[in-house]
Amino acid sequence: MIISLDLLKRGEKAIIKEFTLDMVPLKLLEMGCLPGNEVELVQIAPFKDPMYLNINGSHLAIRKETASHILVEKHSQ
């Protein structure tokens, strides 16, 4: 199932598929947020924003707005 990253729930894992942004921020890629990598939602702040992610062992936080532009494929149970 493909969803945007901001819909992931805490503790869930998924695979990054693609970005729906015209221009993907280079910094995001450099921090390891690349298609094909596994992402886990570690923690969310109140209002689900920002989101604390673990992408293949690289831990970072991004805002919900950015996350909504990242499509991921959720693992089937």
* Residues within the interface to other proteins (CB under 8 A): 23-34, 42-43, 45-47, 49-50, 52, 56-63, 65-66
Nearer to other proteins, 27 or 77 (CB): 27
Query: What's the CA angle centered on 11, arms 20 and 44, to 5 degrees?
Result: 70
> From residue 46, how far is each of 29, 50, 63 by CA, in Å?
26, 8, 12
Q: Minimum Å distance from CB 33 to other proteins? A: 8
Q: How far is the CB of 69 from other proteins (least distance, A)?
A: 10
